[in-house]
Amino acid sequence: MTTTAPAGATIDTIPLDLRGLKCPLPVLRVRKALIAARAGSIIIVHCTDPMAAIDLPNLARETGSAIERQGDMDGALVFHIRKAA
C-alpha cells in the first residue's frame, strides 16, 4: 500500500500483524521490516506482547526511526513507525 506525500512522492505503508508472537519475535520482525523498507516508509505494527510497549520505542530510538502513533485497537498494541531517512 502507498500513500501520496506532499511533494508528489509516494510513501510505502507496510502492515505487520504480529499478534500472538512473544518477545523477542515482534521486535525482530519489525527490525527486519525496517531494514527492507525505503526511507520514509511507515510500518504499521499490531501486536499483543506487552513487552512491545518497551521494545519497539527502544528499537525506533536505536535505528533513528520515529514512532508517529502508538495506541490500542481491538486488544492489540498498534504502532506507526516511520523509517529514518
Residues belonging to the active site: 23
CA distance 14 to 34: 10
From the list 77, 68, 72, the residue with the least C-alpha distance to 45 is 77
Residue 53, C-beta contacts closer than 8 angstroms, at least 6 positions apart? 70, 77
